[in-house]
């Protein structure tokens, strides 16, 4: 029983952490219509900054600040936001397909930097020894995790409530107007480009927060934590849950993460050890299938709202 | 055999159609054209004139009604089949491939034919329209507006259609080019094709047509010989609304009484 | 050194060019950025293994090699077979996924779906063939010296020659055959093409076949001159997009030129930046082009 609870806690920590990133993506895509294909990159920025700020001194690598957990989180969010601001200035006026290609390229570039800029990122080995604040609260690993789950759950809740408030605010209504008809929205006063940038930055800050929380929990960070599959996972969570819907974002996160973990379990139990690595491909195949099937048969996701439907469905 | 007793080449009746199935633009419209006849559809903006001709051409979904070509039901046939069935359509905008040469444009017109036959018919077009032959390897983008219209019509002629549909063929053309085009249309009718046009320039179109159909708000309002429609004050009313039409009628009456005698 | 990088640039540019042709056409005619196109290269390369094995049951592969190349007629057979099989795969994906979505949803849904399909295709390769790199043959080749101090393998010369052949063939197809002219017509104005009598659905199938065949040949050539590995296609996503965007969607020569520029800039760049950052070069190219021309080089506003 304890084992099950312990596993459930572990599961929920990760699911909700991803959920925060999905909320960010939902703001960008569901509410603003921005196609960010480089989610993993911004999560990575958050994760690495967290590791650098809170981690101990490391030989030949930037570090030793040993700042508190919360500062680390804030720093991660700021860094991700800054990166988003710079990138957004360069790319947001691109139309959809090109924005997808550009943001994809950014994630690849960030990944390259994580692999190679050893002074800052520790290269392929990454950074270890990231302190976890909950260790001070209890000796039992289970209780520690429960505390961490509390932290993550609070963060997710705050993000959720904040987003719900924001989208109902005048700023949020402007977002909706831009998505529907940009020219008309521009005539109302506020610059659509500026609002889009703000939305992009805010969404990426949430992704940075996800990265920071993830890294704070796991205790180390390496480039292989932020492969493009992460971007796919988060997008699938969003689509399965229904876009333009914050509740759906969180539900999608839990569901898709459940499938991922469940299938991983299945693979490790059923697949013979020699071909485990190949069996691991099954997880990705499953996620890919879910994404495509959801798009084909339930484009509104599970708790859907409107979907970006073209007026010219003609080919 | 008079035109009235001939069986129509095109016979469309009860047409309900629109770009979205829940929002029909046409509410039960009918038109008919016989061989050698030029029929024009006129009407105020938003009447559904273009929608009607596009529906006949298979580009807009028809939810009720039938379209018969020489008695054969072609309702809802996919647009690319129409050329092979004997109906050619010249759309209003984007009616030639600007990035292709004149020859390539014409070749595509014959896509439903065997290769040899298609090339032979292209040669025929060059004999008939030497201007196209001279410029055959030039890109269509280099043609003037009027020349493009001729290419657009020529492309349709490759399939030797029994029915030719034209959507505002003189839009954007100079008065001289427009007159040339109307001339061309009359020649095609004289060769035996049934011609259905949509025209914004109602007066000029009616003058060179045999029959007119007046549409408003997606329904037939008046139909009949073009000469009758030209003289009918009700046509003006439909276009301009009550007040405007009354003013126009008054002006016309004043002019008539002061001039020697009008043609029509 | 320069000449070697230059030669490598041309060769890698040729591979990108062949792959980009299909991407460019589908971007223009189907109007979405297909992130799964690169996986057609991967599958093309791996499917050739099957055809090669099949041929190998009839003949001794090493004995049939045509000197100085590392392969013989079985490889050519495998290439053709792979092109056909990859075309089938592409058409299947079109019918099952892309066509249905295009009818009911917007462009970005198609892009999503292509992400999902790319994931599927890549990991299916992993599942069937595993992680490790695979080579078509273990034949040794002797490098040819070319002026400037560079060395190229005979297989690489074959690569260049075949690419030129394919491009010439496509040019003739697009200008002399009625199907090719119809394809150009559809690229410019699909509705007018329909009105003219062109069966646009058929043309779209042709586009997939040509694109997939180019991708398959590119994948086989990559496998021949470098190696086969599951990330083959993924590592080419950015170069392919860069080439297609540079050359303008829908342009055969644009894709070829774009491919060459991408290949050259990637390989020449290592003379100034650390080679580990080489994969970022196509991306930088994309950013630069799109900064000056947000709709692509010959793009039209929607």
> Can you give A215-250 as a three-state secondary structure string?
HHHHCCECHHHHCHHHHHHHHHHHHHHCCCCHHHHH
Task: Please say if the pLDDT value at position C220 is more than 90.
Answer: yes
- DSSP 8-state symbol, C95: I
Secondary element (H or E) of residue B166 = strand B163-167
Question: Residue B20 class from Cβ within 10 Å (0-12 exposed, 13-18 middle, 19+ buried)?
Answer: exposed
**Which of B79, B95, B108 lies nearest to residue C181, judging by beta carbons?**
B108
C269-285 pLDDT tens trace? 988 888 888 888 998 88
Structure token pair of residue B135: 């410029």
| The domain defined by C2-292 carries CATH number 1.10.3470 | yes
Question: Residue B219 class from Cβ within 10 Å (0-12 exposed, 13-18 middle, 19+ buried)?
Answer: middle
List of chain B residues whose C-beta atoms are within 8 Å of the C-beta of residue C103 = none
CA distance linking residue B42 with residue B220, whole number of Å: 10
CB pairs below 8 Å between B and C: how many? 69
Structure token pair of residue B87: 């109906």
Q: Tally Cβ neighbours within 10 Å of residue B244.
A: 12
User: Do the Cβ atoms of B68 and B4 come closer than 8 Å?
Assistant: no
The residue behind tokens 């570090």 is A63
- Beta-strand (E) ranges in chain C? 144-146, 150-152
User: Do the Cβ atoms of C262 and C45 come closer than 8 Å?
Assistant: no
Beta bridge partners of B56: none
Region at C259 (left for phi over 0; alpha for psi -120 to 50; beta for the rest): alpha
CA distance linking residue A159 with residue A297, whole number of Å: 30
Chains touching chain C, criterion 3+ CB pairs below 8 Å: A, B
Q: Which of A182, A173, A166, A172 is nearest to A96 (CA)?
A: A182
List of chain B residues whose C-beta atoms are within 8 Å of the C-beta of residue C182 = 108, 111
Q: What is the pLDDT of residue A310?
A: 40
Prediction pTM value: 0.86
First CA to last CA across chain A, in angstroms?
A: 56
Q: What is the pLDDT of residue B263?
A: 45
Give the residue from chain A lying closest to C98, CA to CA.
A296
CA distance linking residue B138 with residue C105, whole number of Å: 38
The ipTM of this complex is 0.85
Q: Which of A53, A83, A61 is nearest to A212 (CA)?
A: A53
Q: What is the pLDDT of residue B249?
A: 63
β-strands B72-73, C150-152: how paired?
unpaired
Vertex C11, ends C7 and C14: CA angle to 5°? 140
**Alpha-carbon distances, residue B191 vs B163, B164, B195, B206 (angstroms):** 12, 12, 11, 20
Residue bearing the bigger pLDDT, C273 or C264: C264
List of chain C residues whose C-beta atoms are within 8 Å of the C-beta of residue B91 = 191-192, 195
Confidence of residue C286 (pLDDT cuts 50, 70, 90): confident
List of chain A residues whose C-beta atoms are within 8 Å of the C-beta of residue C111 = 35, 96-97, 100
What are phi and psi for residue C93, nearest 5 degrees?
-60, -40
**pLDDT profile of chain B (264 residues), mean per 10:** 68 88 88 93 88 92 90 88 91 91 94 90 93 92 90 93 93 89 92 92 89 90 88 77 55 63 44
CA distance linking residue C276 with residue B78, whole number of Å: 54
Q: What is the pLDDT of residue B87?
A: 93
Q: Assess C291–A contact: CB distance below 8 Å, yes or no.
A: yes
Residue B252 CA from chain centroid, whole number:
29
Q: Name residues of chain A where pLDDT drops below 50.
A: 305-315
β-strands B10-17, B26-33: how paired?
antiparallel
Residue A47 CA from chain centroid, whole number:
11
Taking only Cα atoms into account, the Rg of chain C, rounded to an integer number of angstroms, comes to: 19
C35-55 pLDDT tens trace? 999 999 999 999 999 999 888
Mean pLDDT of chain C: 89
* Section C245-249 average pLDDT: 86
User: Do the Cβ atoms of C262 and C10 come closer than 8 Å?
Assistant: no
Q: Which residues 104-143 of A are in CB contact (within 8 Å) with C?
A: 104-106, 108-109, 112, 115-116
**Which of A37, A285, A310 lies nearest to residue C106, judging by beta carbons?**
A310
What is Dmax (Cα atoms) for chain A? Answer: 63
- DSSP 8-state symbol, C96: I
β-strands C144-146, B87-90: how paired?
unpaired
Q: Which of A255, A264, A233 is nearest to A303 (CA)?
A: A255
CA distance linking residue B234 with residue A259, whole number of Å: 71
* Section C57-69 average pLDDT: 78
The residue behind tokens 């003037």 is B144
β-strands B72-73, B62-69: how paired?
antiparallel
The residue behind tokens 């590995």 is C229
Task: Please say if the pLDDT value at position C245 is more than 60.
Answer: yes
Q: Spell out the alpha helix ranges (H) of A60-133.
A: 69-91, 96-116, 118-121
β-strands B194-198, B163-167: how paired?
parallel
- Beta-strand (E) ranges in C46-164? 144-146, 150-152
Beta bridge partners of B195: B38, B164
CA distance linking residue B249 with residue B22, whole number of Å: 39
Q: Where are the domains of chain C?
A: 2-292
Task: Please say if the pLDDT value at position C211 is more than 90.
Answer: yes
Sign of the alpha-carbon dihedral angle for A176, A178, A183, A189: positive
Q: What is the pLDDT of residue C277?
A: 87
C102-124 pLDDT tens trace? 887 777 788 888 988 998 999 99
Q: Spell out the alpha helix ranges (H) of chain B.
A: 49-56, 79-85, 102-109, 115-128, 130-134, 145-157, 175-190, 202-208, 226-231, 233-240, 242-258
Q: What is the pLDDT of residue B242?
A: 40
User: Do the Cβ atoms of B89 and B156 come closer than 8 Å?
Assistant: yes
Secondary element (H or E) of residue C135 = none
C116/A309 Cβ within 8 A? no
Interface test with A, best of C34, C42, C115, C195 (most A CBs within 10 A): C115
Structure token pair of residue C56: 């190998």
Interface test with C, best of B61, B104, B106, B122 (most C CBs within 10 A): B104
């Amino acid at each position: 029983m304890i084992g099950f609870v312990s596993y459930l806690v572990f599961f929920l920590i990760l699911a909700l952490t991803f959920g925060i990133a999905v909320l960010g993506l939902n703001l960008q895509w569901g509410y603003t219509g921005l196609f960010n294909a480089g989610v993993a990159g911004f999560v990575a920025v958050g994760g690495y900054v967290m590791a650098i700020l809170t981690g101990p001194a490391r030989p030949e690598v930037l570090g030793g600040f040993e700042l508190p957990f919360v500062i680390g989180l804030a720093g991660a969010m700021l860094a991700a936001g800054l990166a988003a601001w710079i990138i957004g200035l360069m790319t947001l006026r691109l139309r959809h397909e090109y924005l997808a290609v550009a943001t994809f390229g950014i994630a690849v570039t960030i990944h390259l930097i994580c692999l190679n800029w050893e002074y800052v990122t520790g290269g392929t080995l990454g950074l270890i020894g990231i302190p976890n604040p909950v260790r001070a609260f209890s000796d039992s690993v289970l209780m520690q995790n429960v505390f961490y789950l509390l932290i993550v759950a609070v963060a997710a809740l705050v993000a959720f409530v904040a987003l719900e408030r924001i989208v109902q605010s005048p700023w949020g209504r402007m977002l909706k107007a831009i998505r529907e008809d940009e020219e008309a929205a521009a005539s109302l006063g506020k610059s659509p480009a500026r609002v889009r940038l703000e939305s992009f930055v805010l969404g990426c800050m949430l992704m940075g927060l996800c990265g920071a929380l993830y890294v704070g929990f796991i205790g180390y960070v390496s480039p292989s934590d932020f492969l493009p599959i992460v971007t796919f996972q988060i997008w699938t969570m969003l689509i399965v849950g229904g876009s333009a819907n914050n509740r759906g974002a969180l539900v999608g996160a839990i569901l898709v993460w459940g499938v991922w973990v469940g299938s991983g379990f299945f693979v490790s139990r059923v697949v013979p050890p020699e071909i485990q690595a190949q069996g691991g491909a099954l997880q990705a195949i499953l996620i890919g299938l879910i994404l495509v099937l959801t798009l084909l048969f339930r484009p509104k996701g599970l708790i859907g709202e409107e979907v970006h439907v073209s007026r010219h469905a003609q080919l | 055999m008079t035109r009235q007793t001939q069986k129509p080449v095109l016979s469309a009746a009860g047409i309900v159609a629109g770009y979205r199935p829940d929002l029909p633009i046409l509410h039960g419209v009918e038109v008919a054209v016989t061989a050698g006849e030029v029929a024009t559809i006129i009407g105020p903006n938003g009447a559904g004139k273009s929608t009607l001709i596009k529906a006949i051409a298979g580009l807009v979904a028809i939810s009720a009604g039938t379209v018969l070509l020489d008695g054969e039901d072609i309702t809802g046939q996919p647009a690319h089949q129409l050329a092979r069935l004997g109906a050619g359509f010249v759309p209003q905008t984007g009616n030639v491939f600007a990035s292709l040469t004149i020859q390539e444009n014409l070749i595509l017109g014959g896509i439903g034919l065997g290769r040899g036959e298609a090339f032979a018919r292209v040669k025929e077009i060059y004999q008939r329209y030497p201007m196209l032959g001279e410029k055959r390897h030039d890109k269509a983008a280099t043609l003037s507006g009027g020349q493009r219209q001729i290419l657009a019509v020529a492309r349709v002629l490759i399939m030797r259609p029994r029915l030719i549909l034209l959507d505002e063929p003189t839009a954007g053309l100079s008065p001289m080019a427009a007159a040339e085009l109307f001339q061309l249309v009359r020649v095609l009718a004289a060769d035996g094709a049934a011609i259905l046009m949509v025209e914004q320039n109602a007066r000029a179109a009616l003058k060179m047509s045999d029959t007119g159909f007046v549409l408003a708000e997606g329904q037939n309002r008046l139909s009949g010989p073009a000469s009758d429609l030209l003289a009918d004050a009700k046509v003006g009313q439909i276009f301009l609304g009550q007040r405007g039409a009354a003013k126009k009628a008054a002006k016309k009456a004043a002019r008539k009484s002061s001039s020697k005698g009008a043609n029509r | 050194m320069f000449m070697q990088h230059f030669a490598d640039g041309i060769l890698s540019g040729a591979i990108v060019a062949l792959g980009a042709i299909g991407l460019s056409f589908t971007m223009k005619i189907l109007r979405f950025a297909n992130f799964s196109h690169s996986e057609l290269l991967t599958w093309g390369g791996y499917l050739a293994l099957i055809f090669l094995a099949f041929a190998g049951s009839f003949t001794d592969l090493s004995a049939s090699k045509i000197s100085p190349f590392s392969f013989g007629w079985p490889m050519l057979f495998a290439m053709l077979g792979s092109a056909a099989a990859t075309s089938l795969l592409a058409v299947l994906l079109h019918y099952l996924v892309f066509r249905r979505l295009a009818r009911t949803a917007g462009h970005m849904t198609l892009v999503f779906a292509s992400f999902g399909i790319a994931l599927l295709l890549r990991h299916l390769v992993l599942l069937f063939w595993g992680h490790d790199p695979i080579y078509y043959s273990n034949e040794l080749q002797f490098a040819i010296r070319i002026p400037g101090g560079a060395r190229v393998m005979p297989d690489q010369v074959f690569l260049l020659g075949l690419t030129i052949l394919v491009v010439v063939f496509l040019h003739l197809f697009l200008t002399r055959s009625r199907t090719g002219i119809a394809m150009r017509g559809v690229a410019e104005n699909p509705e007018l093409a329909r009105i003219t009598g062109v069966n646009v659905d058929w043309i779209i199938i042709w586009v997939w076949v040509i694109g997939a065949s180019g991708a398959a040949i590119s994948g086989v050539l990559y496998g021949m001159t470098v190696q086969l590995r599951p990330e083959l296609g993924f590592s080419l996503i950015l170069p392919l997009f860069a080439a297609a965007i540079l050359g303008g969607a829908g342009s055969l020569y644009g894709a070829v030129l774009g491919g060459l520029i991408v290949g050259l800039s990637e390989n020449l760049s290592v003379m100034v930046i650390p080679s580990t950052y080489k994969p970022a070069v196509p991306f930088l190219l994309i950013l630069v082009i799109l900064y000056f021309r947000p709709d692509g080089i010959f793009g039209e506003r929607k």
